[in-house]
A = this chain, B = another copy of it.
Amino acid sequence: MNFEEIRTACCDANRRLSKMGLVDITFGNVSIYSPDVKVFAIKPSGVDYDQLTPESMVVMNLAGELVDGDHRPSSDTPTHCYLYNQWGAQGVHSVVHTHSRKAVSFAQAGMGVPCLGTTHSDYFNGSVPVTRSMTPEEVIGQYEWETGKVIAESFLEMDPLEVPAVLVRNHGPFAWGATPEKALETALALEVVADMAAQTLALNSIVAPVPEHLQHKHFFRKHGSHAYYGQK
């Protein structure tokens, strides 16, 4: 992908995000990483979705430097940057950040989203974790970069492609994937399963997670070499 292509794809993805019902006001952004050129494009900061153009997208390198563009990038840019440094080589090529309401509610409650059913298992092979609280030093310092670090900390023993989302505590969700389409779909799925989980807990506060054999069945019927969901 050249700069022109990555800008256009990024503009399209941000516009799609705003139509998916996941965004209030301007709380959300999508970035796209190009592994061959090792840059990513991201939404400009504080610009309304209907005013986005490919030209207003900002292209950054993995050192966090602005490579191309005349706008300020999203204030969350260092978080995206950290995740591409960490996981770009493993296939994380798009990151979506939203303040979607149900996912934020779990983040604010300090709870991950438990895996309570097959809708969840179709997307996430286990519960979606919530990060630890950030220290005053991390917040006062390079806050957005440190946010990327605490996200990565939550995945030391988990494959970010088996659980492609996280809740940043007191903040909100990040989701990712191999393509912007996939990352956006995962961000939406996270909001849906957070909604279902909140309602489930309201009905039955001591509900157990879905049995592991059912969780694996659903995850692996959609993912990996034995998947049989979808068209060939």
Binding site for B on A (CB under 8 A): 24-25, 27, 44-47, 71-72, 75, 99, 101-102, 104-111, 116-119, 122, 133-134, 136, 139-140, 143, 170-172, 185, 188-189, 192, 195-204, 207, 210-211, 213-214, 217, 221, 228-232
A45 contacts across to B, CB distance below 8 A: 229-231
- CB < 8 Å neighbour of A139 from B104, B119, B214: B214
Q: Smallest distance from the beta carbon of A223 to chain B beta carbons, Å?
A: 12
**Residues of B with C-beta under 8 A to A102:** 199
CB distance from A25 to the nearest CB of B (A): 6
Q: Are B110 and A171 in contact (CB under 8 A)?
A: no
Contact between chains at B136 and A211 (CB < 8 Å): yes
Complex Cα spacing A139 to B24, Å: 36
CB distance from A115 to the nearest CB of B (A): 10
Q: What are 30 of the A-B contact pairs (CB < 8 Å)? A: A24-B192, A46-B229, A46-B230, A47-B230, A47-B231, A72-B230, A75-B229, A99-B118, A99-B192, A101-B195, A102-B199, A104-B119, A105-B196, A105-B202, A107-B117, A108-B117, A108-B207, A109-B200, A109-B204, A118-B172, A119-B172, A134-B214, A136-B211, A139-B213, A140-B213, A140-B217, A143-B217, A170-B210, A170-B211, A201-B203
